[in-house]
Structure 1
Amino acid sequence: MTQDFPTGPAKRILMLVGDFVEDYEAMVPFQMLLMLGHDVATVCPGKKAGDSVATAIHDFEGHQTYTEKPGHRFAVTADFSAVDLTSFDALVIPGGRAPEYLRLNQDVLAMVRHFAERNLPIAAICHGPQILVAAGVLSGRQCSCYPAVAPEVTAAGGQYVPPGEGMNTAHVEGNLVTAPAWPAHPAWIREFQRLLMTP
């Protein structure tokens, strides 16, 4: 790690997933955060520890939008219905198709509000900000996301931050780290780590 990459005590992080979460946006951040020494619990409404979700792989192959292919099985490591939010330091919301329906779950929205109201670090990527919109936590906030989600961010009173060239940039505002898609993982996780290590 470079000198300006902060390290410190491990944090307990909650990752919110659902069927057809974007494969790279769940698996890669999960592994990166474990590599940094953090304790990451993955949860999904209606599922418990030992279950799994199906993932989807989204790619850009010259069409007007991304393509979708079957991904892997991604393990759920904690019971959604029994999770103690007070034991977690931060929240991660991957993208894919899962946020589209997870945002309809009132317990999911309450979970997001718990972290937002306490100003705890929240990292969301790609379509993940759809959940932030539904939870009502983006008004007056800056947010990056997959460009197709930009109208929702704006309609919710947020300020959409366009991606840099190559979709590889992350945006930080206060406790919120957002990014447009999985090419931004290095920047997204680096900035999330900085927030996690900020006293």
Structure 2
Amino acid sequence: MTQTTVLLLAGDFVEDYEVMVPFQALQMVGFEVHAVCPEKEAGDACPTAVHDFEGDQTYTEKPGHNFELNHDFDAVDPSEYDALVVPGGRAPEYLRTYDEVLEIVQHFFEADKPVAALCHGLQILAAADVLEGRTCTAYPALESEVKTAGADWEDSVTRDGNLVTGQAWPDHPEWLAEFLDCMGTDVDHAEPAAADD
């Protein structure tokens, strides 16, 4: 049996939790995850931003970690991947200006492969023109963008075929569980190891 390989699109000031948690969680269940960024190679880093909800009218932003990429963007052949993860943060705003990024996203939709997008990651999907007729969610301030791209809006984690979307990192448990289910990975019945007497 071949190992499931997931492509993760990162960029400078990607949201810290939204890149770190899926990257590590998908590795934890045995997937190979290639984290890439345009114009960067394996070993390069993307600075991250921590977005938090502290009672203001919008999220606050603080410096995060340096997220190390583990694959060269120029070496990506989307046909070699089983699924795609698109985290949020500020990175999607500029990543959507790269034709190569949009072409990668379009491949996953044309091939009907699982795609998990979170928060501002939907900006990339909207720019790739793959949301027409879909039902999805994103960071709430993007509702008009998502609707303009032709999608129906939901206010919670949503699965539409092979597309799984969430509003922000607090959705991780449900969003990741739906994505894993979409890929046929059953984690609902994990049993804790018995303690030695």
* Counterpart among 98, 108, 121 of residue 101 in structure 2: 108
Give unmatched runs, 5+ long, in structure 2: 186-197
Check if 1:12 corresponds to 2:39: no
Q: Tell me, what secondary structure is at the counterpart of 1:64?
A: coil
Q: Give runs of aligned pairs for residues 134-173 of structure 1, distance below 5 A.
A: 134-163=127-156, 170-173=157-160
TM-score (normalised: structure 2): 0.91
The corresponding residue for 2:14 is: 21
For residues 11 and 129 of structure 1, what CA distance do their matches in structure 2 show?
24
Q: Give runs of aligned pairs for residues 168-183 of structure 1, distance below 5 A.
A: 170-183=157-170
TM-score (normalised: structure 1): 0.90
4+ long deviations beyond 6 Å:
none
Q: Give runs of aligned pairs for residues 31-42 of structure 1, distance below 5 A.
A: 31-42=24-35
Change (3 A) 1:9 1:172: farther
Which of 1 and 2 has greater Rg? 2
Give unmatched runs, 5+ long, in structure 1: 1-7, 164-169
Amino acid at match of 1:177: V
Q: Deviations over 1:2-60 (max 9, x none)?
A: xxxxxx97410000000000000000111110111100000000000110100000001
Q: Deviations over 1:50-105 (max 9, x none)?
A: 10100000001111100000000101111111212121000000000000110111
For residues 53 and 43 of structure 2, what CA distance do their matches in structure 1 show?
32
For residues 115 and 99 of structure 2, what CA distance do their matches in structure 1 show?
18
Q: Which moved more, 1:8-17 or 1:130-139?
A: 8-17
Aligned residues: 185
- Please say if residues 123 and 177 of structure 1, whose CA atoms lie closer than 8 Å, have aligned partners that are also in contact: yes
* Counterpart among 184, 189, 193 of residue 171 in structure 2: 184
Change (3 A) 1:85 1:127: same
Change (3 A) 1:125 1:186: same
* Counterpart among 26, 44, 64 of residue 37 in structure 2: 44
CA RMSD of aligned residues (A): 1.2
The corresponding residue for 2:114 is: 121
